[in-house]
Each structure stands twice: as C-alpha cells, then as structure tokens.
Structure 1
Amino acid sequence: MKTQTTKSAPSVRPTVLFFDVNESLLDLENLKKSVAMALGDREDLVPLWFTTMLQYSLVSTTSRQYGDFGIIGAATLRMVAANHDVQLTESEAKEALKPMRSLPPHPEVKEALQKLRNAGYKLVSLTNSSNQGVQAQFKNAGLTDYFDEMLSIEDVGKYKPDRDVYDWAARKMGAQPNECMMVAAHGWDIAGAIWAGWRGAFIARPGQQLYPLAPLPEINEPDLLKIAEKLIDLKSSGAKGDIPNGIN
C-alpha cells in the first residue's frame, strides 16, 4: 500500500454531499468535559476512550454483533475507567454520555450548510449514531432543516468505515460511488469513503489527522465554511461521465 502525496484539485461537483456528525458538525467539548469528569478528571483519557469506542464498534461490525453506539460508548468508558483504577458504574457511564445528544454545532457550520443548500447541493448526514440519537442531536443543534436526508448506520447494522456502509448509503440516495463526497473531520472516515470509491473533503479540526496510508481527499481545509466555498466554486457536471473517476 502506497501513500498518496498529491491530489489534483476537483473540477466537477459531486451529486450528494454526505456529512459525518460528531466532531465534524457538532462540537464535542461538553461531552469531553463530562467524560473527563467521569474518569476522575482525567482529560488525557478522553481520546483513549474515543478510540476504544471506535475500536469496539468495529469489533461488533466484524463479529456481526450490532449494538447501539451509545451502549458501546458506555461500555468502553467503563473499560477505560477500570484500566485506570476509576470506579464507574453502568448508570454513571450512561450519565456521563448524556451531553452527546445536546452538542452545539461548530461556529461556522450553519452558515456553511446554508451556503451549500443555496448553491443547490443535496445534503445528507451519515453517522455512527442511532436514528433516534441523530434526530435528537440535530433537533437540539438546530440542524434538521439543512438536510435532505439523515442516514444512520443503524439501518445497515455496520459501523463506518466498513465499506458496506458507504455502498448502502450511495444506493439509498440513488447515486454512484464517484458521485458521492464524504465530508468529515476523521481520517478513518475519509479513508473508508475514498476506498469505497467516493470523493472526500477533510475538515482538519484541531487534533484530527488524515491517515497517511490512504489516498488524499480532494479538499483539505480547517473548517466547513472554507470547504463550502471550494465546493460552491465547482461547476455542475453535464453528464455522469463528467464526474471524476479513479479517485480511489
């Protein structure tokens, strides 16, 4: 597997923009504070908990044992706590994750989404959160009306970045893989989407990095507004064949 070091600038609009939700659109700061408190005020353990949660969501996927993301999050929070001599009950772990459903959007998100809608883009969320979870998140964050569709991996029973998730989401929206673009702040999500034949736009939020062994996305900017500006500048394709191929 070779590291891709260059990526030509995009020239044609994707048909559907798919957005990751947690960290990409929503600010996790309140959740991080709550989790840190549950772990004995250990802020340094929060990234470990998040990666452990992702790890076990993929364990569930590869074992064909789907479980709600929130349940996996609470279980892995208890695992991290136990490994660092912090006593944490199941109910306490669930309580620590309650801020997940009331996270605010990052400051530029609403303006960026509105600009993309005004430019005629179809906006779809694609999240590892449950259907009920993302509906609550978007309602509390005031994002519901910006999206044409809200998709959850709950309906396919596998977690991103499993390729089946991206294939399913593309079919759900009636689009070919190379007509889809994943917009996310997670290197693993961008990598999974590109390897599934999608296009990618990386939101380089603080603490987030692209996976060096995956192909580079077409767009890499520090916030969603800058990504929106680049997407708006793209020309519309006259035919499906005009959409770039071979991006993966």
Structure 2
Amino acid sequence: MEINRRNFLKDTLKLGTAGAILPASLSAFALPAAANPGEGLHILQPEGKNRFAGRPKVLFFDVNETLLDLEPLKVQVNTLLGNKDLGTLWFTSMLQYAFVTSLGRQYADFGTVGAAALEMIAANHGISLKPGDAMAVVKQIMHLEPHPDVKEGLSLLKDAGYTLVSFTNSSNYAVNQQLQHAGISSFFDRRISVQDFGRFKPDRDVYDWAARCMGVSNRESMLIAAHGWDIAGAAWAGWQSAFIARAGQQIFPLAPQPQLYENNLTALAQALTEMR
C-alpha cells in the first residue's frame, strides 16, 4: 500500500515545462491552460487597504443590518420555527438564494426569496408551516428600528453637504416602508432599489448602474455597508467603501479592503466630515 502511495505521489508531482502533470484519472478535473501567460482565472490574494480617491460625491447606504437592526426579525423567525438558532441561518440563506437568482439571470423580489428560503429551512428541520406563515414573518422586515447611532450619523453627513442615497436589495415598496418606519427617510436624497435593475448586489453591473443613476463615476461613489460581500462587490466595481462592524459581520479578506472601518455610523460620519 505504501509503495502504491509513493508511486501515485511521484506521478502526480512530476513537473515539466508546462507545469504539473496529472494522471489520466484526474485530468478531467484540471483547469484549462491559458492561451498566453497571465490569461485565464484571476487568483484572489489578500489585498491591502485602499487609498482614498478624493472626497466621494455620493454616499450609498446599504439598509438591512447596516442602518436597521435585523435582530428582532431573526427572533421572530426563531419563534416561528421553534428553534433559537435558525434566524441567522435564514437571513444568510435568503442572501444566498438571492445571489443564485442573479447568477441565473433571474429575478424575484427580496421578500419572495426570503419566504422561499424560510420554507426551505423549515423543511430541512422537519417543521410544518401553514400557507402564508413564511411571508407573514418576512414582511416584518419593513418594521425594523434603526441602530442607535444611525440618526446622529446621517445628520452629521447631511450637515456636511454629502448626497445620501439608500441602495438596497429590498424592493422599492419595502425600502420606502422601512425608511419611513425607522424615521430616517428625510435624510436621503434618493432611494435606489435593485428591483429596477433586476439583479441583486453584489453583481458588479448593479454598482455600475447605481453610479450612473446618480450621474457620478464609480470612483466618486462610496458604499457604506455592514456586509463583507457588499463591500467586496463595490470595491471590485471600482467604488470607494466604508465598513461598519455590526455584530457578527466581517470584511472579506480576499477583497480590496475598505477605505474606512468603524464600529458605528457616528464614528464613520465624523471621519467623513473631516475629508476635504
């Protein structure tokens, strides 16, 4: 057995001018060679902190978890499912299947995807839901309260002359209800929903489109978000970015790092107001 193992390793680790030589049994899984050196896949490597490209002309805000506290909704999901650990799993599954629809060039509004994800989680745990139960809970996303630092932070930025735009995966109707319920609608110069584009963040085209909607370049745009996937999508699109470290959230180490990293919006706003 040991001799066979050594022979296998020797065969698979032979190096020639074309690189590693795989045995026939594994060759079907090998990546195709690039036509020219440097072409093909872009291999992600950890990237350092981005430099500022000047004071951003427009600040685009993610809404769910960044501005609004999602924890009470997760508790409602836990209550519906009778399991205190499934609320966070539900929201990450909601995001996952929203991304799946974009990859498949399909679209369903965020609430519909959220209800479908909730039904899937219930089924996986042998939990029976009545018709309409999932959607009834998901609709509570329109009645979330803002994090304690949000109103002060938005006020500081507004007073500093920034253009503020909400930029969310929620539908137009949902985000209008969310911002009004939270009492922060008046801070925003415009509300942009991916519903009008038909794909979800972090699809790169969505960021390009949002910048065009505001008549600014990508480098003149800054995303403020509490999700590593959103910060990554914006950075790869050439936007500036600022991360708010809400509980349980981290930046993606393989993406360009944000220009700003703060624990709350008030501190972030203070940093942005100092920019000239």
- Same fold by TM (over 0.5)? yes
CA distance in 2 between counterparts of 1:186 and 1:5 reads 18
Of 46, 49, 53, which residue of structure 2 is paired with 1:3? 46
Partner of 1:120: 161
Please say which structure displays the higher CA radius of gyration: 2
Match of 1:83, as an amino acid?
Answer: N
Partner AA of 2:213 in structure 1? K
Shift of residue 44, structure 1, vs aligned partner: 1.4
**1:130 maps to amino acid:** S
- Counterpart-to-counterpart distance in 1, 2:163 and 2:75: 34
Aligned partner letter, 2:58 = V
Q: Is the 8 A contact 2:53 2:240 kept in 1?
A: no
Could you tell me how far apart the structure 1 residues matched to 2:57 and 2:74 are? Answer: 34
- Measured after TM superposition, the shift of residue 5 of structure 1 is 3.6
Residues of 2 paired with 1:146 and 1:47: CA distance? 29
Amino acid at match of 2:202: P
**How big is the shift at 1:11?**
7.5
Please provide the CA RMSD for this pair.
Answer: 1.1
| Match status 1:64 vs 2:91 | no
In terms of mean alpha carbon deviation, does 118-127 or 82-91 score higher? Answer: 82-91
Give the SS at the match of 2:85: helix
Q: Say whether the 8 Å CA contact 1:30–1:99 is kept in structure 2.
A: no
- 2:166 alignment partner, SS class: strand
1:24 matched to which residue of 2?
66
Unaligned runs of 5+ in 2: 1-43
The superposition leaves residues 120-146 of structure 1 with CA deviations (integer Å, 9 ceiling, x where unpaired) of: 000001000000000000111111100
1:78 aligns with 2:89: no
Q: Does 1:204 align with 2:245?
A: yes
Aligned AA for 2:46?
T
Match of residue 216, structure 2, among 145, 153, 175: 175
For residues 34-85 of structure 1, what are the alpha-carbon distances to aligned partners after superposition, in whole Å with 9 as ceiling and x for unaligned? 1111111x22112211111111111111212210100110010010111111
- 1:36 corresponds to which letter in structure 2? N
Name the CA distance, whole Å, in 2 between partners of 1:101 and 1:90.
20
Tell me what 1:242 maps to: none
Q: Given that residues 53 and 220 in structure 2 are in contact (C-alpha distance below 8 angstroms), is that contact kept between their aligned partners in structure 1? A: no
Deviations 1:173-218 (CA, angstroms, capped at 9, x unpaired): 0000000000000000000000000000000011000011101101
The answer to whether the Cα contact below 8 Å between 2:78 and 2:86 also exists between their aligned partners in 1 is yes
- Tell me if the contact between 2:152 and 2:266 (Cα under 8 Å) persists in the aligned partners: yes
What is the match of residue 91 of structure 2?
50
Aligned to 1:164: 205
The one-letter amino acid paired with 1:19 is F
**Which residue identity lines up with residue 242 of structure 2 in the other structure?**
A
1:192, 1:88 → 2: CA distance?
A: 35
Unaligned 5+ runs, structure 1 = 236-248
Instruction: Report percent identity of matched pairs.
Output: 54
CA contact 2:74–2:87 (8 Å) conserved in 1: yes
Instruction: Provide TM-score, normalisation by structure 1.
Output: 0.91
TM-score scaled by length of structure 2: 0.82
TM-aligned CA deviation for residue 7 of structure 1: 4.2
**Equivalence for 2:192:** 151
Q: Distance in 2 between matches of 1:113 and 1:139?
A: 15
Show the counterpart of 2:24: none
Query: Across the two proteins, how many residue pairs are aligned to each other?
Result: 233
For 2:255 and 2:136, locate their aligned partners in 1 and report how far apart those are by CA, in whole Å: 36
Partner of residue 39 from structure 1, selected from 81, 88, 103: 81
Deviating above 3 A after TM superposition, structure 1's stretches of 4 or more consecutive aligned residues are 5-8
Q: Deviations over 1:202-246 (max 9, x none)?
A: 0001100001110110100110111000000001xxxxxxxxxxx
Q: What is the alpha-carbon distance in structure 2 between the residues aligned to residue 61 and residue 151 of structure 1? A: 17
The separation in 1 between residues aligned to 2:48 and 2:74, in whole angstroms, is: 33
Which AA in structure 2 matches 1:33?
Answer: V
CA distance in 1, matches of 2:207, 2:238: 9
* C-alpha contact 1:204 1:222 (8 A) present in aligned 2: yes
Q: 1:139 aligns with which of 162, 165, 180?
A: 180
Paired amino acid for 1:99: Q
Contact 1:74 1:90 in 2 (8 A): no
Shift of 1:90: 3.6
Counterpart of 1:243 in structure 2 is none
